[in-house]
Structure 1
């Protein structure tokens, strides 16, 4: 009978025979011992062995040129921007070792937005190819704030708000991991036994770290000179408002996160292009700590010995790469700080408007988005683009992109519903009866706020403001009687959230970019077809002609931005607890009038 000995791998101790021990040691990068132990069955050992045999067989096929390497797959889709380390070492590492990969996000808002999706899509690609994907939520690092690219310090977030953000984003990331797997399955990537992913909050390990431990292990291995030389630090000191010690230490805190994960085989970090400095600093710090760790060096020598028996020599240092920031053809960045975030929370950006957002992608952007934000094969994307080029006005590529992304985030049913709603609202033969029926079917009152354009695509409006939780971006909205009747069209466009100010509304009207919907032939009483007419003046007498049945106004700006406005009495609007630009001022003026008249 074979004897059993403890094997420590990926933070666990497995009691197995010496033969299995040798095979299992090849599964992960060097890992430090843990006090946790458990027994595993022979069937489990066999599964691990089979997975490792498959991995080595795949590596041989890649080396023969019969399969693409993981790095090549990522490069072909445009994911790889800058590499920390050499490309040759990274390519070889990903080919021969099932390393762990991580990407993190600080909960500085209550939701992910579209700009966050590129590094998480990379995690998705790693996951469906058999690597351990680690989603890290920066509950602790959010309390410090990443100073990268900022000339001023972030506003201090209250503990209660940070905890609320952590809770909501944790749930969102958990759903994202599941939705990525489901979406991949529908694209032919069926789940395998060896696939692993995790979601962790760095608060869990930072709550156990003492200042002495942090300074003695990491602090003494870091030199101040390189940190002072970082562009972020120099810009803040020379052109900004200075930098706090907490912000200065942010790369060190992030490096500790990596060291915690590195001990369990997470050798690779992925981040946005603006995170290159943090990844580089983290890699250097982890490398220094690893050199000082006797336990790690012992594990490393054992792993290198096993590698040499298979004739391979791999770089065991921490490595990483950045992904391009998601931008439009005009170079605008997607994100909260840039002021054009499109949220992945339906309460903040509706599913319909998420669909519409991608439908408005420019022809020069759509292929890039298809590669980076979907799991569609490159050959299929090529066919989509060829079909798109035949008649760009049909926006076939944009429709495919919008449907695929909504499906990725919310599922098949939501994607089909969003597509159906769009085609219903924008079909050529839509009638006034259809619009009235659509209005009647809208049972949930829509909250409206702050005058943010409905589809503020950054390629169209570089000054677009960030969408907030209270901004429900539905096509169907309610407006109070007093903000529509006897008001100029520029004011109505502002209250409806289609422009950011009344002045912008007037400029849009003067440029011929605002439309109202009504009967195609106003003189024909039986005509029910809907057409849109350019607004020529803001005068109320002109506006009044387009109000249907005293409670319906259909507005459009550009080709796709539409609002179906249900005009309701002021009392009903107030009772529903709704708000819109101009409403608060109206209430204040009424209160002032009541005080003056003594009512």
Structure 2
């Protein structure tokens, strides 16, 4: 076998830019010669080329060990952890490709909200596994596709966002994806993965290439290879036409736009696309279109032939076709998809779902699902997961596996310290020996650190049903919250549950009370005054007369819904609440009712205010 030259090494590298490759073909040295046809000039040192050669040698050695059965194939790892739902292309071809080629892989997300949610993390966990095993990984932010909206699985069109909303969402999610990449590295390091020089990840925004794509190029290069018949036969299109509100041309074209994104990346060596199970049709359509475009691209065929010559020298035979894999969707026990549209998203932004509530979400995982989630959402070895499950099964009431899952996921997203804090906060708040002194001290600490509330409405409480009224972000932001006296004093419990974000409406709050799902915290033996130990009493009625007995020191109220959803309410004067810039939907509703009443009082012949029913 001839020794690898800088030219051969560069051809095999999937993350050397095309300009650099062209220079290396012309002159097999590390120096880039000046060339008027390539205005962007770079220098590649001999050391850099040597690292490329070493990385390729290590990859060939790894492939030999896999072929000899000494190392487990990467595809087997994904299958054992439950990531593979379907593949575009045969598994045999995908396995050989992953074994012999440091191939590029991508997954995309459209910024239709200011934050990712838990449901987005399964395809991104696949990217994380690719990354720490040395593959070229791309997180693609759909700044352009967000303006269209993916119609997959929807019977109605998406609500159009304003340009300012799209820009704000794009900026927020861009920063979030950058943080995620860093946190993945840190989390992997704590699990024993040592970063190597060849690890490579990129964050791409499809706006960058769409702003330079003309309608002529899009239609001439891609459009003429796509047949209308198969597109009309897709379930998404048929369901919208037969059961929904129809489909716009923009939505109909979404798979083509997604295919163009992949074509742009495919020419840089990104041969694999990862998506949710509902994206199989889009990925398949994109793969078929790319095959046709690749056949007619002279530049791509030249580069492909050079790569194939090198593969032949090394006895390697892998498919040049685009490949895809889909991952299972995160669903509720009833099979409903988690997401913003379903109204049950658990956000990965602490202002939208607090870190504590994120921990609680995973702590509520059913015993039947916890092993699956440990495989999907963590880097824990399978042997360690089995040991955790064995320990959990000794006494399921301790929820050992759920605590492990919750802590690992919070660490993955927010870091080790945040995970420790969330775990400690849970164990403190749900400790049977918790006292009112502990609550008071905790509340005092929260007062000193609690930020002003955001003023952006329209997000649904992630722990409630999809029919719940929209709540503001701060309604679900923390365990410790402030409420003005007007929303608590003299109000029924159902109203307070709604105001604090534990119920989506006053009606739902009443249903919780009737079903025995609402609890009030108070002294374990308040009448005797023996100590300040805390217990929770099921709410028997919503009446204020009953609720008033549980107000602690005339300023603290502790409420719980179910086993885990807890709110420690600091009751403050209305003026203080308003001055702090805090708000919630109940507060806005109260102010609107007061404004209407004031207008009516100013009208001629209006009844005295005391004779009117007080707005609730």
Q: What TM-score, normalized to structure 2? A: 0.90
CA distance in 2, matches of 1:66, 1:538: 66
Alpha-carbon distance between aligned partners in 2 of 1:485 and 1:299, rounded to the nearest angstrom: 74
Is the deviation greater in 566-575 or in 130-139? Answer: 566-575
Which residue pairs with 2:373 in the alignment? 369
Q: d(CA) in 1 for partners of 2:332 and 2:70? A: 36
For residue 447 of structure 1, report the CA deviation from its aligned partner.
Answer: 3.8
Asked if structure 1 preserves the Cα contact closer than 8 Å seen for 2:7 and 2:28, the reply is no
Give CA-to-partner distance per residue, 1:106-143, whole Å, 9 cap, x none: 11111111110011111110000000000100111111
Match of 2:570 among 566, 569, 576: 566
Distance 1:597 1:227, change over 3 A: closer
CA distance in 1, matches of 2:415, 2:475: 23
Contact 1:451 1:580 in 2 (8 A): no
Q: 1:159/1:448 Cα in 2 relative to 1: closer, same or farther (>3 Å)?
A: closer
Match for residue 11 of structure 1 among 5, 13, 18: 18
Matched, 1:58 2:62: yes
**Counterpart for residue 360 of structure 2:** 356
Matched, 1:271 2:271: no
Aligned to 1:456: 463
Partner of 1:28: none
The correspondence for 1:389, drawn from 388, 393, 396, is 393
The range that moved more, 330-339 or 173-182, is 330-339
Q: CA deviation at 1:199?
A: 0.4
Query: Is the partner of 1:101 in helix, strand or coil?
Result: strand
Q: Is the contact made by 1:452 and 1:464 (CA closer than 8 Å) also made in structure 2? A: no
In structure 1, what is the equivalent of residue 605 of structure 2? none
1:329 maps to which of 330, 333, 342: 333
Name the CA distance, whole Å, in 2 between partners of 1:258 and 1:294.
18
Q: Classify the secondary structure of the residue corresponding to 1:341.
A: coil
Partner Cα separation in structure 1 for residue 493 and residue 166 of structure 2: 41
Q: Distance in 2 between matches of 1:209 and 1:87?
A: 34
Q: 2:91 aligns with which of 87, 92, 107?
A: 87
- TM-superposed CA distance for 1:471, in Å, is 4.1
What is the distance in 1 between the residues matched to 2:593 and 2:265?
A: 58
Does the alignment pair 1:538 with 2:556? no
Does 1:114 pair with 2:87? no
Partner-residue secondary structure (3-state), 1:235: helix
Following superposition, the deviation at residue 356 of structure 1 comes to 1.1
Match of 1:235 among 235, 239, 246: 239
Which stretch has the larger CA shift, 328-337 or 62-71?
Answer: 328-337
Q: 1:589 to 1:511 in 2, by over 3 A?
A: same
Q: CA deviation at 1:576?
A: 2.2
Deviations 1:550-595 (A, max 9, x none): 1111111111111111111222222223223432232233234434
Selected match of 2:436 from 409, 426, 432: 432
Separation in 2 of the partners of 1:254 and 1:34? Answer: 29
State the match for 1:254 in structure 2.
Answer: 258
How much is the aligned-residue C-alpha RMSD, in angstroms? Answer: 2.5
Paired position in structure 2 for 1:378? 382
Between stretches 469-478 and 559-568, larger displacement belongs to 469-478
Distance 1:125 1:515, change over 3 A: same
In 2, Cα distance between equivalents of 1:115 and 1:4: 43
Instruction: Indicate conservation of the 8 Å contact 1:221/1:288, yes or no.
Output: yes
**How far apart, in 1, do the equivalents of 2:40 and 2:18 lie?**
8
1:344 aligns with: 348
Contact residue 456 and residue 464 of structure 1 kept, 8 A: no
Shift of 1:445: 5.4
Where structure 1 has 5 or more consecutive residues not aligned to the other structure, the ranges are 22-32
**Secondary structure of 1:80's aligned partner:** coil
- 2:417 is matched with which residue: 413, 419, 427? 413
The answer on 1:203 being equivalent to 2:207 is yes
- Distance across 2 between alignment mates of 1:490 and 1:545: 16
Aligned position for 1:75 = 79
Is the alpha carbon distance of 1:356 and 1:499 closer, same or farther for their aligned partners in structure 2, counting shifts above 3 Å? same
Change (3 A) 1:259 1:143: same
Q: CA deviation at 1:94?
A: 0.4
Name the CA distance, whole Å, in 2 between partners of 1:501 and 1:390. 40
1:499 and 1:505 in contact (8 A); partners too: yes
Question: CA, structure 1 residues 19+158, in 2 after alignment: closer, same or farther (shift >3 Å)?
Answer: closer
Q: 1:153 aligns with which of 157, 179, 196?
A: 157
For 1:356 and 1:445, the matched residues in 2 are separated by: 22
- 2-side partners of 1:465 and 1:81: how far apart? 34
Cα displacement string for residues 157-197 of structure 1 (whole angstroms, at most 9, x for unaligned residues) = 11111111111111111111111111101101110011111
Q: Pick which of 85-94 and 560-569 moved more.
A: 560-569
Task: Show the counterpart of 1:501.
Answer: 505
**More off after superposition, 117-126 vs 154-163:** 154-163
1:138 corresponds in structure 2 to 142
Question: Separation in 1 of the partners of 2:94 and 2:151?
Answer: 28
* CA-CA distance at 1:64 after TM superposition: 1.3
Deviation at 1:17, TM superposition (A): 8.7
8 Å contact from structure 1 (residues 5, 18) kept in 2 = no
**Structure 1 stretch displaced more, 434-443 or 202-211:** 434-443
The 1:259/1:158 distance shift into structure 2, 3 A limit, reads same
- Rounded Cα–Cα distance in structure 1 between residues aligned with 2:553 and 2:559: 15
- How big is each residue's C-alpha offset from its partner over 1:251-275, in whole Å with a ceiling of 9 and x where there is no partner? 1111111111011100000001111
**Taking structure 1 as reference, are residues 251 and 291 closer, same or farther at Cα in structure 2, changes over 3 Å only?**
same
**Is contact 1:13–1:34 with CA below 8 Å preserved after alignment?**
no
Bigger drift between 278-287 and 523-532 goes to 523-532
Instruction: Give yes or no for the alignment of 1:550 onto 2:557.
Output: no
